[in-house]
Structure 1
Amino acid sequence: MFSPMSSFVFYPAITSLATSLNVTIGLINLAITTYMVVSGITPAILGNAADKIGRRPVYLLALTVYLLANIGLALQNNFAALLVLRMLQSAGSSVGDGSTPAAGINRTLLSLLSKKQDADARPSGERDEVKPRASWPNPLACLKLLFVKDVSIVLLCNGIFYMTYCCMQASLSTLFIDIYGYEELQAGLVYIPFGLGCLASVYLWEAARPGQHDDFPIEVARLRSSFYLVGVTAAATISYGWVVEKQVHVAVTLVLQAITGFSISAVFVALGTLLTDLNPDRPSTAAASANIVRCALAAASLAALQPVIDSVGAGWCFTIFGLLCSLCGPMLLLEMRMGPRWRRARGAAKGVSGG
């Protein structure tokens, strides 16, 4: 909750921050870029640490840093302080997937009792297998997933959609202020349709949850419906750019915002669920890998966003993003067709190495 809230609450105030700190919008976008960079790096450490030593110590450290950074941001009055404190805020809010079970002293009493009952129910020769091996966190473990074929496709598509998502949100208030002459409060309200679209997708586009069987095509179950939303996202993104550039009535842009929010959020749900399904034994590490890819793409695109809009206009800028989203269609089709085979091969390789 803290990471997206801290990230996107910044967007409506971009113009106001640039004015109050006497800097350009490009420099304010640089603050967003650094936030994304730290957001991508930190889970590589904290996410794997949560897998190894438990969530609670990691969360306590992260939330302490986050709290102190927020206090500093409330008191800062120059761009350098803003830049540094946003990086600390990002580090504090960027913890890996909390779905991984806690370990050792971080388990609840109910979890410990359940674990003991499971151990007592096992034959005496198997009880030693219940106790996990102690190991040090490996911050680089998440990088290995970038080279797994089926996982890398999911990570790349998730990153492209997140990049489009961030750039659309970062440009929204500034475009409405510059093109439609909105006040800052009015420009902040135009984020509501996008948020409503995202909220609707949570309730109306629920991913199926098949059983955990190696032969079950979970790739098809997760992606067969969201595959069509790739085209919807691409078309809505391109249309949004040209509608804004041609100063079409604001109602059209708001409708396109809602459509884009719905489609992008639905694809996020499907890809995120599939990523967890492909890595059931290391969900925090998988989440850290996703953060590295999507934050790297978002950071690079946000750094170039304002110069591109200034040089070619919003229409061509979001045409580029729409075309990038459309490239995910063939990649997801490849995932649906080849993913089960790649997943079974990985399972067989683990079985051989484990034996």
Structure 2
Amino acid sequence: MSESTPRQSHEASGDDNTKSQLDPGVVEEQPRTNDEPEIAIYSIFTQWEKRFIVLAAAGTAFFSPLSAQIYFPALTAIADDLDVSSSQVNLTITTYMIFQGITPMFIGSLADSGGRRPAYVVCFTIYIAANIGLAVSPSYGALLGLRCLQSAGSSSTVALCVAVVADVITSAERGQYIGLTILPIVLAPALGPVIGGVLSEYLGWRSIFWFLAILAGVTIALVGVFFPETCRHIVGDGSITPPVMYRSLRQIIKRRRGASSKAKGGESTEAPKTKSQFKFKPPNVLEAILILFQKETGLLLLLGSLVFAGFYCVVTVMPTSFKKAYGFNEVEVGLMYLPLAVGSILAAAIVGPLINNNFKRHCQKLGIPYDRSRQQDLSDFPIERARLEIAIPLLALTAATMVAWGWAVHAKAHPAVPGVLSAIMGIGIVGLNNTSNALLMDIHPGKVGTASAAGNLARCLLGAGATAAIAPMVNAMGTGWAFTLAGGLVVLCIPVVFVLMTFGTKWRKELRLKSETPTAHDQLHHQKLHPGGLKTSKARTGGPTRNRLLLRF
């Protein structure tokens, strides 16, 4: 990213900036200097097409949390029907969460190397087959095994959703879209138990799985007809025609009829991909695990996972706490999840623009052209500070409302009080998650599916621990003190934010230089193949000048 653009270019375009701020749909084009290379358009998809793609991906991500939550009201009925204990049925929840954390490491890597559409086909094929099996399962053993298979099919859709957003949305506008990726995770606890309770009550517990199988079948059919391949290794900015297996039915029909004038006139901003780009690469599970041990990514995932563990604590104790404090039945308890969902929707509407505006502010501060249609080179951009400055007030808000929520339930305050606090808490938790997810995309371009799978593993592990720990904590300490402790853990995340803002850019550069520097084995191998040897040359590629190794053939 060039830093030679004069600050005056922003001052001279003050009218354009004002217009852009008044109309968020206007893309701000800022003048470039003669020595500044033109940055290619990031995606040829229109604004409405991008909205459709992100909403469709978010819709598919709904199945993972929905399958977990819709199951809860039927636990007693399943135990009675299969003649097993409640503990045995609860084991199916534990195994579901284990596979929910592990499977995305395979599918996320597959999606990064082999495309998003094939990954969706694999996921939904497994998921539909598992649900049909669950609907007719004759024994507890079959139920236990098929629940693992159901989790394996659905859990990767969340990681795929995040990867799709990174494919088509630039860093400058990700804030307003990334919020959609978390909505399914938060809406499922509100809608899942209600749907599951109604189906189990009137049609029997097996109808839950028939419902999920039918819904998944309709979804994958719509994906097959309308959803385009977005993986940038395959389609680039979207202008490169993928192989037939990667095309939607709509694309195939359009191609046969002749491309529209827009498609004919558009020129790809990338060179045509060779056939080797489409060769299948086995998923690399170790890559997702290794990402967890990178300094910056590890701290970022710890930050997001700790906050989300607090969310799991709240949704886990809601049924027992509201029944004990207010005498609510299952339907009334289900309705108390709705404020949390409302807060999540508000977070997408409020925090998303804040993330984008803070990114824009840092661009203007550094004299860097800001354009939402082009992906900037973030190699030397302080993206950690641009993203995480928003996280500090969100963490404070989450901690305060979490503590207040615990004491409100403990004191048996009017139900509206914990309801309002849940909505505010939803803004904090989901807003923080949106911020951390946006940064995760920024620091792992090209491997978003794998990085998201690593984040999913961290969330599931800490979420499972929080779910197991919160009930004994409430029994031993009371709801008020239990959530005071949970809020205190959220406060401890604030120093982590400052560490990331201070050292994140440095760690990212070190990791990039390490990955670009050939090992001694690589250098010896090239010297044997090319006696001319290796020479070093200085090259400027949008960041500070640094030595690079060039092969002499």
Please say whether Structure 1 and Structure 2 have the same fold, judged by a TM-score greater than 0.5: yes
Q: Does 1:143 align with 2:302?
A: no
Q: CA deviation at 1:57?
A: 2.4
SS of 1:173's equivalent in the other structure is: helix
Kindly state the Cα deviation for residue 39 of structure 1 after the two structures are TM-superposed: 1.0
Larger relative contact order (Cα-Cα within 8 Å, sequence gap ≥ 6): 1
Shift of 1:204: 0.9
Spell out structure 1 runs of 4+ moving beyond 6 A.
Answer: 23-28, 112-117, 127-130
**What's the secondary structure of 2:321's corresponding residue?**
helix
Letter in 2 for 1:37: I
Indicate if the aligned counterparts of 2:64 and 2:155 stay in contact, CA closer than 8 A.
no
* Separation of aligned partners in 2, 1:38 and 1:338: 34
Does residue 1:272 correspond to 2:437, yes or no?
A: yes
Distance 1:266 1:24 in 2: 40
1:154 equivalent in alignment to 2:303: no
Give the letter aligned to residue 235 of structure 1: A
Contact 1:173/1:190 (<8 A) preserved: no
Task: Determine if contact 2:63/2:154 at 8 Å carries over to the other structure.
Answer: no
The one of 129, 135, 148 equivalent to 1:87 is 148
Alignment partner for residue 324 of structure 1, among 463, 486, 489? 489
Which AA in structure 2 matches 1:93?
Answer: S
Offset at 1:9?
6.5
Give 1 or 2 for the bigger CA radius of gyration: 2
Query: How many angstroms apart in 2 are the aligned matches of 1:338 and 1:225?
Result: 17
Q: Any idea what the Cα deviations from partners look like across 1:141-172, whole Å, max 9, x if unmatched?
A: 11111121111111111111221112211221
Alignment of 1:1-355 (within 5 A): 1-8=59-66, 10-11=68-69, 14=72, 17-18=75-76, 21=79, 30-74=91-135, 82-95=143-156, 96-97=159-160, 98-99=163-164, 101-102=230-231, 103=234, 105=243, 106-108=245-247, 118-119=270-271, 131=277, 135-206=281-352, 207-208=355-356, 211-353=376-518, 355=549
SS at match of 1:140: helix
In 1: Cα distance, 2:420 partner to 2:324 partner:
20
Q: In the alignment, residue 192 of structure 1 is paired with which amino acid?
A: L
Contact 1:14-1:173 within 8 A present in 2 as well:
no
Change in 2 beyond 3 A, CA 1:186/1:350: same
**Which piece of structure 1 moves more, 284-293 or 64-73?**
64-73
Identity %: 33
CA distance in 2, matches of 1:76, 1:217: 54
Change over 3 Å in CA distance of 1:115–1:24 after alignment to 2: farther
Letter in 1 for 2:121: L
Query: Which stretch of the first structure deviates more once superposed, 250-259 or 300-309?
Result: 300-309
Secondary structure at the aligned position of 1:119 is classed as coil
Q: Secondary structure at the match of 1:52?
A: helix
The structure whose residues are more often helix, as a share, is: 1
Q: State the Cα distance separating 1:73 from its structure 2 match.
A: 4.3
Per-residue displacement from partner, 1:9-68 (whole Å, max 9, x unpaired)? 654874663476368887766544332221110011111011122222222121022123
Distance of aligned partners of 1:20 and 1:116 in 2 relative to their CA distance in 1, 3 Å threshold: closer
* Aligned twin of 1:123: none
Q: 1:334 and 1:117 mapped to 2: Cα distance?
A: 38
Deviation at 1:192, TM superposition (A): 0.7
Change (3 A) 1:317 1:302: same
Aligned to 2:446, what secondary structure does the other structure show? coil
Distance change (3 Å), C-alpha of 1:11 and 1:317: farther
- How far 1:271 sits from its partner (Å)? 0.2
CA displacement at 1:312 relative to structure 2: 2.5
Q: Deviations over 1:67-101 (max 9, x none)?
A: 23333444569766554443222211122334254
Q: Which runs of 5+ in 2 are unaligned?
A: 1-58, 168-229, 235-241, 256-262, 361-375, 519-547
| Gap change, CA 1:76 and 1:168, over 3 Å in 2 | farther
Match of 2:203 in 1: none
Residue of structure 2 in register with 1:124 after alignment: none
Return the TM-score normalized by structure 1.
0.86
CA shift for structure 1 position 134: 6.0
State which drifts further: 279-288 or 24-33.
24-33
The CA deviation string for residues 300-328 of structure 1, in whole angstroms up to 9 with x for no partner, is: 22123323323332222222221221111
Task: Give the total of aligned pairs.
Answer: 349
Q: Which of 196-205 and 139-148 deviates more? A: 139-148
Residue aligned with 1:21, SS: helix
**Letter in structure 2 aligned against 1:275:** L
Deviations, residues 113-155 of structure 1 (Å, cap 9, x unaligned): 98977436xxxxxx87995776432121111111211111111
